[in-house]
Amino acid sequence: MELVRFDLQKMENPEISGVEYQQGTLLGYEVREYLLEKWGRECAYCGTGDTPLEIEHVVAKSRDGSSRVSNLAIACHDCNQAKDSQWLVDFFAADKGLKKRLKANGLSATVRLERVQRQLKLPLRDVTAVNATRWTLFGTMKATGLPVAVGSGGRTKYNRQRLGIPKTHALDAACVGKFDTLKGWRVPTLVIKAMGRGSYQRTHLDKYGFPRGYLMRQKQVQGFQTGDRVRAIVPAGKKTGSHTGRVAIRKTGSFNIQTEQGAVQGISWRHCTLLQRGDGYGYHPLPSIQH
């Protein structure tokens, strides 16, 4: 389970927090996640968010600034380049590019400078509001008695990029926690969606409460039920071919099938084979990603 976004202990550990971190290491990923959170996923200086963000020493290394996370901020490329080794106050007072970007983002230089200074003084722990929901979920999982291992979001990203795995929801989940290699991830993902079991109300009403069309009372037609997953092989006509998907039944025996390519209407029940009974969920496979 991804319990925390970044590992505070790893950064607080005096043995490593003073050490130069490297991009691409686990600590590097933890630091980056932490900084993104601390600075609200936007440039600490000009407030631009929709741009690649770089890690920046607030007090420059050439001025004896440390590489502890307390001296690091996240900045856009332009600010990072422009600030260079200037003192924070000088950069805010004189840089024309920064002023332009602040103005474009509707920010005041004075207010923004104060915010940066205030954020810099925040203790490590205060940056992260503890996510109560995640801890409750963790407690619930622990209570099952099954083994539960936790990891940080920094580690998930580290694993994913270390192993060259593309970013999808399913593969991100597979990259949570501590492990060396991941095998067999080039498989399709089955997406499951709650569909409900149809309306209880058998009659549609118009806005005045008069009946307007009726739904079938009959739940099954020729052994099929709305929501079943079927494959229809149509031998001839306009709908020739194979159609696989969720079926909607009609009393006439002429069905509609919701396939991945779209709805196919008017398919006779005679061409249909039941693949799976409807259970209130819709299933559709996403193709695997090949690299």
Residues that bind Zn ion (CB under 5 A): 43, 45-46, 76, 79
Q: Of the two residues 4 and 79, which places its CB atom closer to Zn ion in the complex?
A: 79
Task: Kindly give the interhelix angle for 153-162 and 26-38, rounded to the nearest 10 degrees.
Answer: 130
- Smallest distance, Zn ion to C-beta of residue 99, A: 11
Work out the widest C-alpha separation in the chain, in whole angstroms: 82
At closest approach, how far in Å is the CB of 46 from Zn ion?
Answer: 3
Q: How far is the CB of 52 from Zn ion (least distance, A)?
A: 11
For Zn ion, give the closer residue by CB, 101 or 229: 101
Q: Which is nearer to Zn ion, 76 or 165 (CB)?
A: 76
| CB of 76 or CB of 175, closer to Zn ion | 76
Are the CB atoms for 275 and 231 separated by under 8 Å?
Answer: yes
- Residue 104 or 149: which CB sits closer to Zn ion? 104
Q: Which residue has the tokens 């690299």?
A: 291
Buried b (16+ CB within 10 A) or exposed e, 135-152: eeeeeeeeeeeeeeebbb
Closest to 90 in 3D by CA, of 45, 148, 54 = 45
CB of 142 to Zn ion, least distance (A): 43
> C-alpha angle with apex 133: 130 to 136, nearest 5 degrees?
105
Structural tokens at position 212: 């307007």
What's the min distance (Å) between Cβ of 159 and Zn ion?
Answer: 30
